[in-house]
Chains A and B, each alone.
Chain A
Amino acid sequence: MEYAVLVDPAKCIGCRACQVACKRWNNNPGEETTFSNEWTNPPKLSYNTYTHIKFELEYNQTTGDTKWRFFNWRCMQCKVPACAEACPVKAITKYEEGPVVIHQDRCIGCKFCVSACPFEIPKFDSVSGKVSKCHMCFDRVAHGKEPTCVQSCPTDALVFGTRDSIIQKAKERKEELNGYIYGDVDNKPLGGSGFIYVLDVEPSVYGLPNVGENLSPTVPVLNLSKWLLVPAALGGLAYLVAWRKRRMKEKEE
């Protein structure tokens, strides 16, 4: 049974319950932050911060209108995760239920996943020497229970369900908003994602990158570069053959 989460930023009120719930469920320590002119706090995702709300204040010069955009940002739980492809020790698994999980016991901290992810989600921690990110509460999802952030959301900006039902809901909401779906239907980054966004404006306004359906060439190149050993071996073989030919000729003389 594949599950997904529908994210509806228009309903988000920026209460950050999801951030707190995530910390509690995963026993992640808080992060020391500093006062700045940004509301997004912590300002960046990190090894200990799997999700946060991006606060964007949109100011219309002509009309003088302001509009808050609250956007829940975290791992997209892609169908074909670039991070999993890039990991040399196969420490990242895409479960059929949907979650993409970095297994901490297997992670070697090489940071290939960090460079592979088009959303720049996996984060490295120098203390543990490993990388981690939102894992869609796979320990809960495995039992059919919604992730803890979804459970905590007071406004149903986050909704959990089977993938088919979520896509259905997304289509309905898109009609209502006259908006866009990001993650499936209209826009399928990396084949589609486990977190599906239904937006009232173009994805780029929310900072969602334009990621193709297929993996960008960098990850396969990384995986396939080891096949350069084949021409290397062939080259060595060519030298060996040329050498033996010479030796045979020598022996004849």
Chain B
Amino acid sequence: MAGEREVPKKKYPPEVNYSKVLKGMIRTSPLDTTFHILMAILLITGLIIDLLGPWLGGWFSSIRSIAHGYIGALFVLVFIVYIIKVAISKKMRTVLTATNYIDFLLYIILIITGIAIASPNKPWIDLVPGLSDVLSPIALYAPMIHVITTYVWIVFAIIFPGGILHGLASVYLISHLKKKYKTKK
């Protein structure tokens, strides 16, 4: 049958506001929600290190670096699950565009370089000691590629249009509809 999916009753015409949208996002795809949250944290911590690094320093900055690293590791796992879901789902391929696929490519570059950078760190050096040796050829260039790819992604995500433009449009739309709904009532 056409997707036997039961959803809780909603009122029509619909009310759109931030809390409903966030709840909807979590209900529709917890995987997607996790993916986005982790991505946002990684982007923000990475930018803090690169842009505010000279002013931060010492233990504070180190925690940033650890937060970025461990959350990055979590992101890798979530990403793998997400990519598998996309690959096997025809529905996803129906709605995804070339922009999305280029996005994924950039994430893969970030992930590989990220792993290369992290491979000599604890606990990975203990858990997967061989990894550091295997990745050592790219480990030398990995930090540079990692940083540049991030900024390339940002440009791409705004102009092409990509994820950031989508985010901005969402915020604008929800604010607009929230206002519209209030005035209609």
Residue of B nearest to A127 (CB): B122
Give the number of residues in B that approach A within 8 Å (Cβ atoms). Answer: 39
- Given A109-B62, A221-B148, check contact A226 B120 (CB 8 Å): no
Kindly identify which residue among A110, A114, A116, A232 contacts B49, using a CB–CB cutoff of 8 Å: A110
Question: Cβ of A88: which chain B residues have Cβ within 8 Å of it?
Answer: 49-50, 53-54
Contact, CB under 8 Å: A232 / B155: yes
Contact, CB under 8 Å: A115 / B49: no
Residue of B nearest to A129 (CB): B121
Stretch at the interface among B15-23, B79-87, B136-144: B136-144
Kindly identify which residue among B64, B141, B148, B161 contacts A225, using a CB–CB cutoff of 8 Å: B148
Q: How far is the CB of A222 from chain B (nearest CB, A)?
A: 5
Q: How far is the CB of A117 from chain B (nearest CB, A)?
A: 10
How far is it, in angstroms, between the C-alpha of A105 and the C-alpha of B139 when the chains are bound?
24
Tell me the residues in window 47-82 of chain B with beta carbons closer than 8 Å to chain A beta carbons: 49-51, 53-54, 56-59, 61-62, 64-66
> B147 near A: Cβ within 8 Å?
yes
Question: Cβ of B139: which chain A residues have Cβ within 8 Å of it?
Answer: 111, 115
- Given A226-B50, A226-B51, A236-B168, check contact A105 B58 (CB 8 Å): yes
How far is it, in angstroms, between the C-alpha of A232 and the C-alpha of B148 when the chains are bound?
13
Contact, CB under 8 Å: A109 / B144: no
Residue of B nearest to A112 (CB): B143
How far is it, in angstroms, between the C-alpha of A123 and the C-alpha of B151 when the chains are bound?
27
> A108 near B: Cβ within 8 Å?
yes
How far is it, in angstroms, between the C-alpha of A111 and the C-alpha of B144 when the chains are bound?
10
Question: Cβ of B53: which chain A residues have Cβ within 8 Å of it?
Answer: 87-90
Tell me the residues in window 27-62 of chain B with beta carbons closer than 8 Å to chain A beta carbons: 49-51, 53-54, 56-59, 61-62
Q: How far is the CB of B99 from chain A (nearest CB, A)?
A: 13
How far is it, in angstroms, between the C-alpha of A111 and the C-alpha of B143 when the chains are bound?
7
Contact, CB under 8 Å: A109 / B121: yes
> B128 near A: Cβ within 8 Å?
no
Question: Cβ of A248: which chain B residues have Cβ within 8 Å of it?
Answer: none
Kindly identify which residue among B54, B148, B152 contacts A89, using a CB–CB cutoff of 8 Å: B54
Contact, CB under 8 Å: B49 / A89: yes
Question: Cβ of A10: which chain B residues have Cβ within 8 Å of it?
Answer: none
Contact, CB under 8 Å: A129 / B62: yes
- Given A90-B53, A90-B54, A239-B165, check contact A115 B120 (CB 8 Å): no
Q: Which residues of B contact A (CB under 8 A)?
A: 49-51, 53-54, 56-59, 61-62, 64-66, 117, 120-122, 125-126, 139-144, 147-148, 151-152, 154-155, 157-159, 161, 164-165, 168
The 6 closest A-B pairs by CB, nearest first: A228-B151, A88-B53, A235-B159, A108-B65, A89-B53, A106-B57
Interchain Cβ contacts under 8 Å between A and B, 20 examples: A88-B50, A88-B54, A89-B53, A89-B56, A106-B61, A108-B61, A108-B64, A109-B62, A110-B65, A111-B117, A111-B139, A115-B144, A120-B140, A126-B125, A129-B122, A222-B143, A225-B148, A228-B152, A232-B151, A232-B155
